[in-house]
Structure 1
Amino acid sequence: MESLFVGSLAKPSILPSFPAKVDLFSPSSGAQVLRFKERNNLDKQFGVPSISQKKFLLCQHVGARYTRLVALSRKGSDKCLVNAASGQPLESEPSKDPLNTLQGSLDAFYRFSRPHTVIGTVLSIISVSLLAVEKLSDFSPLFLTGMSEAIVAAFFMNIYIVGLNQLSDIDIDKVNKPYLPLASGEYSIKTAVTIIASFAIMSFWLGWIVGSGPLFCALFVSFVLGTAYSINVPLLRWKRFAFVAALCILAVRAVIVQLAFYLHIQSFVFGRPALFSKPVIFATAFMSFFSVVIALFKDIPDIVGDKIYGIRSFTVRLGQEKVFWICIALLQIAYLVAILVGMTASQNWSKVITIAGHILLASMLWSQAKSVDLGSKAAITSFYMFIWKLFYAEYFLIPFVR
């Protein structure tokens, strides 16, 4: 699992050379398939065994990465040792500066933690906690302590979930996300297992000593669904099934986060009846739309690796462009509903903020969507991060819905 092994094939010297670098992240694989067919036709002419299309794509990908490494090594030849002729790997001299070593470790953990998901988790808990606040005196040390306990416990569980997903997808990430620590080789499997096990234990330990039923329930359900989503054992690895994968993300991001963490503050911290107010119902419904969009959109930049390893996502089945515009349509419907909810607000300040805020977000979404180059993986990934920013912005608006 730690290395992507592709066997080499002997080739007569009279064969024409082929480019080592190929854009594997193109939304269409037509050019790659054509090149694959041309290569196999030439091989047949000279009696060379043909290779499968899957191995061809992987060979091209490895070749492209090696070309980039060699180019980088030439820029910093004073720090890199390269022996291409003897087949030795590219190695960097270890840093002797403790600060550089610490910085590198923190950077690797930062990427391993998938920070955009951590930010979303923290903002969502703060936002739904504020929905339980009814008067100014509710902003007490008790409230701040209860909210902080929920944030830390959820953060620990978030690291477990995203870490397990990377541990289960090492080979796929070598194609789709080679910058992640496991895919790049910065983390060994043993290191990743130690990290995710430690954070899972700390999450449950904190949830247990706090003694909040809703909080512990949120952690347990997130653990079960996150494990079933990623782990590669019989009957699990639900991410292989597009509809079930979307349901997992919806359950955690839309239902568990809104309802369980709200009840943690409302019932456990404040000791009030477990009643779901209009803002809580709105937040759950709106984030259900948003969670479906995130579940669909996250696979758009990863279509190449998903195709190679048999992940039947909606993007693989329907194509990038169709899924892209389905996501935009779902979000625009959600914003329209939010505007209508704002019109029914009992307070004028709530009405103005809710309507104006969602009109602004809907306009920004449409403006950005029209300019996205669906032929560029970098552009699609950048827009995916923009959707997460809209996700964050919504949690700033939710407490104003009254």
Structure 2
Amino acid sequence: MESLLPGSFPQRSSSLPSGGNYLGETKFKVGHSPREVQVYRCRARKILERQCVVRFQRHHSGFSVKKSTIYQENNAKFLVHAASGQPFESESGAYNPESTSKSVKNALDAFYRFSRPHTVIGTALSILSVSLLAIEKLSDISPLFFTGVLEAVAAALMMNIYIVGLNQLTDIEIDKVNKPYLPLASGEYSISTGVMIVTSFSIMSFWLGWVVGSWPLFWALFISFVLGTAYSINLPLLRWKRFAFIAAVCILAVRAVIVQLAFYLHMQTHVYGRPPVLSRPLIFATAFMSFFSVVIALFKDIPDIEGDKIFGIRSFTVRLGQNRVSLEQLIHF
């Protein structure tokens, strides 16, 4: 066998550039190794490519040499990818917009679940409603009012994320039974990530309260921090969520007293510069929220009865039974 490619590339000295006869002179003899054959084939492809470019330039003189060079480079890239067995359009480390968008969406969804949005919404609505009680005349609805509300809501939501985040950090095993969709329980967040989030948000909350310069706001944050930590953290004489009555007192103190009085005084004294007078609407709102907070403290543990039983959390639902708590609360409600 004198040649592996007989007659495939006929010699045409008139149409080839200098060195064009090389293909005709390249013969694959029996004694050549497979590696040498592969090298010869690559050279043959390159020569064919050059020949196509030259013919393309002659028949289409309107195209520039630059386009021919790009054409040649693209073909060379194609040959390299074809020889390596890799897809032509995929390169390692290439930017993928869809993958990036999906990663961002997943990260936002995990943080959304971590922040416990129902508590965020409840906190924001409570602060807004009690802030409205400080309005005495129509002119009080001003940019000053909205700025004061925004400061209070931002600081309180950061503290809220600290409290619910700390609760998840100390309840990972319980949440694997009761709430496996939460990021820490599902493994989406590591413990170090959870610690970083709750630490950052607690620092930012106190920092904002200090920068605003409102003592009612700062004390509301501090008392919420203390009660939220004592409620969840597993240390001697703490982790008050284990005891149904003390847990209910913590919830009542924050939701019914701290939120109502402290944020009202924030608007009354810091924003409007008025004396700290407790109005009748504020007293009524505090009394109503006290009753409502007791209902929250009783109802919130009904879906968690299974995990609470396993890990020794003596909530009202565990002590009295799920059906009994639901029936009694519906009657009283």
| TM-score with structure 1 setting the length | 0.58
What does the per-residue CA deviation read over 1:284-330, in whole Å, with 9 as the maximum and x for residues that have no partner? 11111111111111111111100000111111111011111232244
Which residue does 1:128 correspond to in 2? 130
What does the per-residue CA deviation read over 1:12-55, in whole Å, with 9 as the maximum and x for residues that have no partner? xxxxxxxxxxxxxxxxxxxxxxxxxxxxxxxxxxxxxxxxxxxx
Summarize the alignment of residues 305-316 of structure 1 with structure 2, pairs less than 5 Å apart: 305-316=307-318
1-structure distance, mates of 2:319, 2:159: 31
Residue 214, structure 1, aligned to residue 248, structure 2 = no
1-structure distance, mates of 2:309, 2:208: 40
What does the per-residue CA deviation read over 1:199-220, in whole Å, with 9 as the maximum and x for residues that have no partner? 0000000000100010000000
Which residue does 1:138 correspond to in 2? 140
What does the per-residue CA deviation read over 1:217-245, in whole Å, with 9 as the maximum and x for residues that have no partner? 00000000000000001110000000000
- State the SS of the aligned residue for 2:125: helix
Which residue does 1:158 correspond to in 2? 160
Q: Work out which of the residue numbers 257, 274, 277 in structure 2 matches 1:275.
A: 277
- State the SS of the aligned residue for 2:303: coil
Q: Work out which of the residue numbers 195, 199, 202 in structure 1 matches 2:201.
A: 199
- State the SS of the aligned residue for 1:97: helix
1-structure distance, mates of 2:149, 2:301: 32
Q: Which runs of 5+ in 1 are unaligned?
A: 1-94, 333-402
**1:271, CA displacement in angstroms?**
1.0
Which residue does 1:365 correspond to in 2? none
Identity score, percent:
76
Which residue does 1:285 correspond to in 2? 287
2-structure distance, mates of 1:171, 1:291: 27
Q: Which runs of 5+ in 2 are unaligned?
A: 1-96
What does the per-residue CA deviation read over 1:320-350, in whole Å, with 9 as the maximum and x for residues that have no partner? 11111232244x3xxxxxxxxxxxxxxxxxx
2-structure distance, mates of 1:290, 1:164: 24
What does the per-residue CA deviation read over 1:166-189, in whole Å, with 9 as the maximum and x for residues that have no partner? 000000000000000000000000
Which residue does 2:329 correspond to in 1? 327
Q: Work out which of the residue numbers 173, 176, 196 in structure 1 matches 2:175.
A: 173
2-structure distance, mates of 1:232, 1:219: 21
1-structure distance, mates of 2:201, 2:226: 15
Higher relative contact order (CA 8 A, sep 6+): 1
Which residue does 2:267 correspond to in 1? 265
Which residue does 2:81 correspond to in 1? none
Which residue does 2:232 correspond to in 1? 230
2-structure distance, mates of 1:131, 1:329: 31
Summarize the alignment of residues 112-123 of structure 1 with structure 2, pairs less than 5 Å apart: 112-123=114-125
Q: Work out which of the residue numbers 283, 297, 304 in structure 1 matches 2:306.
A: 304
Summarize the alignment of residues 310-389 of structure 1 with structure 2, pairs less than 5 Å apart: 310-330=312-332, 332=333
**1:96, CA displacement in angstroms?**
6.7
- Matched to 2:178, the amino acid is N
**1:107, CA displacement in angstroms?**
0.3
- State the SS of the aligned residue for 1:257: helix
2-structure distance, mates of 1:314, 1:320: 9
Which residue does 1:246 correspond to in 2? 248
Which protein has the larger Cα radius of gyration, Structure 1 or Structure 2?
2
- Matched to 1:285, the amino acid is A
2-structure distance, mates of 1:324, 1:260: 32
| TM-score with structure 2 setting the length | 0.70
- Matched to 1:136, the amino acid is L
- Matched to 1:327, the amino acid is Q
1-structure distance, mates of 2:153, 2:314: 34
